[in-house]
Amino acid sequence: MKNNNENNFEKIKHIDNNGNEYWEARELMPLLEYSKWENFHKVIKKAMIACETSNNKVNDHFPEFRKMVDIGSKSQRETIDYKLSRYACYLIVQNANPKKESVALGQTYFAVQTRKQEITELEFSKLSEDEKRLYTRILVNNKNKYLFKAAQDSGVENFGKFNNYGYKGLYNGETANQIAKRKNIKEDEDILDYMGSEELGANLFRITQTEAKLKKDNVNNENDACTTHYTVGKTVRKAIEELGGNMPETLPTPKKSIKELEKEELEKITTKIE
């Protein structure tokens, strides 16, 4: 089965109850043009070794589970499968047969958004500004999933309204549309893709602290959730001010969006593969 579209990897992505993304190994296998589980399992084992060598916990990225599969004649049998993190998938495609076209596509797909789950402050300081933006944007995207889940559990239905309350607190009253207008970007583009690492960092703090407070305070209605988001945003703004930092609306807008940086990284990876 040949696959010439990276979106195929996106289509089989799952999201668990905590907002974590994962891929099932047996669904990934045919996309990488492996027909026999025995052969693909060898690749998974190599990826596990690479994971362990990188000082990451294998069980965090390759948790095993059992499921029933059809074997014909209306019969089923129990089989082993794995819930793979993005990092696990990245390691798998790095250890798969590079001659397969779909493996090359998998390498570009998983490599662009894959970073170590944790990096030290020293490692982060050595990154270029573009690399810091890519890394922090991934964190923001992942943490936003937790925030939206917490918001939903708190009774939020209008997520546009909820988001704007957070931005208004952090950006001295500006809504997402007003921020976009100030940055001179199109309405259909994500303002987070046009933020530098410092501005993304401020928003990351807003996101994580709002999620925590919604849960801690057992917020159970949309109005209180919005108020909480605004209060946290304003508190983060005050903290930046007290530290003598730059207000988020005064920070420069990068010339290239995150999407453009990802595209450039894809081209680099593709060139190396070729």
Together in a domain, 67 and 163: no
The rounded distance, in Å, linking the Cα atoms of 269 and 274 is 9
Final residue in a domain of this structure, among 98, 114, 130:
114
pLDDT on residue 197: 95
Per-residue pLDDT tens listing for the chain (274 residues): 444 456 788 889 998 887 788 999 999 999 999 999 999 999 999 999 988 887 788 999 999 999 877 777 777 788 899 999 988 998 898 888 877 778 877 776 776 555 544 456 666 778 889 988 988 888 888 789 889 999 999 999 999 999 999 999 999 999 999 999 999 998 789 999 999 999 999 999 999 999 999 999 999 999 999 999 999 999 999 999 999 999 999 999 999 999 888 878 766 655 544 4
In a domain, 204, yes or no: yes
User: Residue holding tokens 């990351």?
Assistant: 204
Together in a domain, 145 and 108: no
Together in a domain, 129 and 250: yes
User: Residue holding tokens 């890394």?
Assistant: 135
pLDDT on residue 46: 92
Together in a domain, 29 and 86: yes
Together in a domain, 215 and 189: yes
pLDDT on residue 20: 80
Domain span at residue 33 reads: 7-114
Enter the pTM of the model. 0.61
Q: How many domains does the chain have?
A: 2
In a domain, 52, yes or no: yes
Final residue in a domain of this structure, among 62, 93, 114:
114
